[in-house]
Structure 1
Amino acid sequence: MSDLTTSFIDSHDGTRMAVHRMGAGRPVLLLHGLFSSAEMNWIKFGTARRLADAGFEAIMPDWRVHGHSDAPVDGALYTAGVLVRDAFAIVEELELHDYDLVGFSLGARTAASAVTAGLAPRRLVLAGMGLEGLVNWRKRVAFFIDMIDRFDTIEHGDPAFFARSFLKSQGIDRHAARLLLTQGVDEIDAEALATIAMPTMVLIGEDDADNGSPERLAEALPQAKVVTVPGNHMSSVMKPEFGSAIVDYLSGE
């Protein structure tokens, strides 16, 4: 992957964020999921390479608290909607005007929220997401906060064991992650979804029910369709069909 490059930008509040890029051509901004990274969601299992080989430029930031980006522990740097403002900062810093936007899980939430706030990609992909994951975020996030608070006592067989293991494997700072979850991610009004006017693919693993109904999400969007690939919430991004579905959708007329 000799054409993979990494640079850093300062976001709206000075937080240093890593931005990884691969390929040359039409820009595709890819937003990864919670406790993951650009490496884990987009690079390791080939989605970025598939995009690059198809004539796109994959632009892959690491969210604050994740990957190679800063993980500040100052609560003042985690106001509601902070990831949306990070997304705007990346678009502005890189001067993206005609681009596509792809998000997985938390990245999909952020992509949808950023579009309702004014980002205007040509096409949108919301992956690993259903309607309930957008409009009932607090129920979902309570699971992760509980996992962080019980981190040192969670044993194998606990429903939170896998999430704990994944967070630990990614080297996530628990204090910073808790600040992000409790203060930094805002709710999405279901009615606001009707303002997402660009063509949208709701991309979901056939065994992924973590964030609710993808069909109901597609019904809430003006121009959306559901595409299913093999896998569950964690494994779907590892499948070649996942990256191929994104390439096919963004390459279509």
Structure 2
Amino acid sequence: MSQITTSHIASFDGTSLAVHRMGSGRPVLLLHGLFSSAEMNWIRFGHAQALADAGFAAIMPDHRAHGQSGAPHDPAAYPADVLVRDCLHLVEALELSDFDLVGFSLGARTAAAAVIAGLAPRRLVLAGMGLESLDNWSRRSAFFIDAIDRMGEMKRGDRAFMAVSFMKTMKVDTVAARLLLQAGGEMDRADLSRITMPTLVLCGEEDRDNGSPADLAAALPNGRLQLIPGTHMSSVTMPELGAGLVAFLRQG
């Protein structure tokens, strides 16, 4: 395995963001999913290694309240669209001017919102994402906030059981996570017209957790769809995810 290096960058408000790197070459900024981490989404199952082997530099931050990044309990540390602001700050701090952007689930939503806010990657990958989740954050976040609030009484068979099990596995700071869930902003589907770069919607064949990936690809000016094996959770473990990233990012 290629060497992994980790540094910490102070974000716009001083919160420490852990940034993991693997490989050298064209930079690819990879944003992980909710309650996950760069290690879980990108490193553990070989996707970062696949990118490194293909001549890319995988740059993988942990979101605030996740992984090795800061998890403040002050509500002031979670203004609206805080993850988008972190992303924009990281791109500036890392001096990324010619790069590709990849996100999975919450990371995909963050990546799309960052592009709408003005970020201009050469190519964009929205993985584990469907159209309906982009402008329905309040309902999606309410599900996870409720899961956090009921963690102590959660039983197998509850529709939130798997989410709670994953939070426990990842040792999520639930106070910080709850604040983060309240900080997301809604997107307008009309703003998808601003995402003009080649964009791959990469999703598990059985994954509809965030809505329809086909509808998302069709709504993008330059979108295309690729399905890989798996559900929302299991698709991250599939080598086809890393292979799909490499094949798409090698184009052009």
- TM-score clears 0.5: yes
SS for the counterpart of 2:27 is strand
Q: TM-score, structure 2 length as denominator?
A: 0.99
- The answer to whether the Cα contact below 8 Å between 2:193 and 2:221 also exists between their aligned partners in 1 is yes
CA–CA separation in structure 1 for the residues paired with 2:250 and 2:102: 13
Provide the residue aligned with 1:100 in structure 2: 100
- The answer to whether the Cα contact below 8 Å between 2:2 and 2:23 also exists between their aligned partners in 1 is no
Bigger CA drift: 9-18 or 154-163?
Answer: 154-163
Q: TM-score, structure 1 length as denominator?
A: 0.98
Shift of 1:157: 1.4
**What does 1:49-198 correspond to in 2, within 5 Å?**
49-182=49-182, 184-198=183-197
Provide the residue aligned with 2:30 in structure 1: 30
Alignment pair present for 1:48 and 2:48:
yes
Structure 2 residue identity aligned to 1:219: A
Aligned residues: 252
CA–CA separation in structure 2 for the residues paired with 1:165 and 1:81: 26
CA–CA separation in structure 1 for the residues paired with 2:209 and 2:157: 18
CA–CA separation in structure 1 for the residues paired with 2:137 and 2:205: 22
Shift of 1:2: 4.9
CA–CA separation in structure 1 for the residues paired with 2:48 and 2:184: 26
**1:126-155 per-position Cα deviation (integer Å, ceiling 9, x unaligned):** 000000010112121111011001010001
Structure 2 residue identity aligned to 1:243: G
Provide the residue aligned with 2:204 in structure 1: 205
Runs of 4+ in 1 over 2 A off after TM superposition: none
Structure 1 residue identity aligned to 2:161: F
Structure 2 residue identity aligned to 1:202: V
CA–CA separation in structure 2 for the residues paired with 1:185 and 1:16: 19
- The percent of aligned pairs where both chains have the same amino acid is 64
